[in-house]
Structures are given as C-alpha cells and as structure tokens.
Amino acid sequence: MSEELVKELERQEQELVFTHFDNEDAWWLGSRLVEMAAGRPVAIDIRRGTQQLFHAALPGAVADNDRWIERKVRVVERFGASSYLVGRRLALMGRELGAGMGLDPADYAAHGGAFPVRIRNVGVVAVVTVSGLPQADDHALVVSALERFRSER
C-alpha cells in the first residue's frame, strides 16, 4: 500500500465536504448510487447515526453485504475517516484493525466502501456505504456519487 494512495484518499475527504445533508439528499444520493451501480451485485446504505435513511440491495447482493456495511460504518464512526483510508493507513504501518486496538474484527472492517458525509463547520453527520465489489471499487463508487452530489445539489 502506497503513501500516494493514502494522500489521494485524504485529498478526497478534504474536498468532499458539504454545506447540507438531509433526508432528501440521502434519497437523491442513494438513488444515484443505484443508477451508477449499473446492475452490479451491491448493497447500498446511507445512515445518520442509528437512523437508516436509504438502503437498497441490487440483484446479486447477499445478506452478508449488509453485515459488511455495518462493520465498515463502525470504522467511519470510530475514526471519522473512510473505511478505506483507515485500512490503508494501518497497512502502511504494518498493522491491522483488531484486538490490539481494542476492536473486535467481527464488528469492524477497515475495508473500502464506507465514506463520511461531512458538513463544513459541523463534522461527520452521516455515512454512505457500498458493499459487494472489491474494496477499491466499493470506495470509488461512493466517491463518484459524492462528487456528483457536490456538483449537482
């Protein structure tokens, strides 16, 4: 895992900061993700705290995708950064998310696909997650949708 990748992931998080995010925005973003997934076997989830604002399981997605979503979301909530960035930072240090960090890997997954929705001068207010593709692809799909959200909303 390269330092260049970590810097790119950090850049994405610095740029993808918004001025608002409400239930309508979650519906818009989730609907765009369904379109952008183009029939790939993914589950899509957007939540604010414990409230699920949007969820879709596309054909081919399985119940295990929902479990992965829960584990990835916990990483974002715990570290305030995308699950992919957390995992790549750990890999650079030769570490893994686990008991040595006081975390049970059954409950946390530092794999790509969960991204914080950050509001300027507020912080993280929601998490958008995709599960079902290789981790870099899950992450890229979410980032593409958030970039579209930024430009169209």
Question: pLDDT value at position 97?
Answer: 87
Q: For 121-150, how does the pLDDT look when each residue is reduced to its tens digit (9 = 90+)? A: 999 999 999 999 999 999 999 999 999 999
Ordered domains of the chain (ranges, CATH) = 3-152 (3.30.450.150)
For the chain, the DSSP string reads: --HHHHHHHHHHHHH-EES---HHHHHHHHHHHHHHHTT-S-EEEEEETTEEEEEEE-TT--HHHHHHHHHHHHHHHHHSS-HHHHHHHHHHTT--SSGGGT--TTT----S-EEEEEETTTEEEEEEEEESS-HHHHHHHHHHHHHHHHHH-
Residue 1 has pLDDT above 60, yes or no: no
Cβ count near 51 (within 10 Å): 10
99 has a pLDDT exceeding 80: no
Predicted local confidence at residue 7, as pLDDT = 97
* pLDDT at residue number 98: 83
Q: What is the pLDDT of residue 101?
A: 87
pLDDT tens, position by position, 36-94: 998 899 999 999 999 999 999 999 999 999 999 999 999 999 999 999 999 999 999 99
pLDDT of 104 > 60? The answer is yes
Q: Please report where in the chains the tokens 């979410």 appear, as a residue.
A: 142
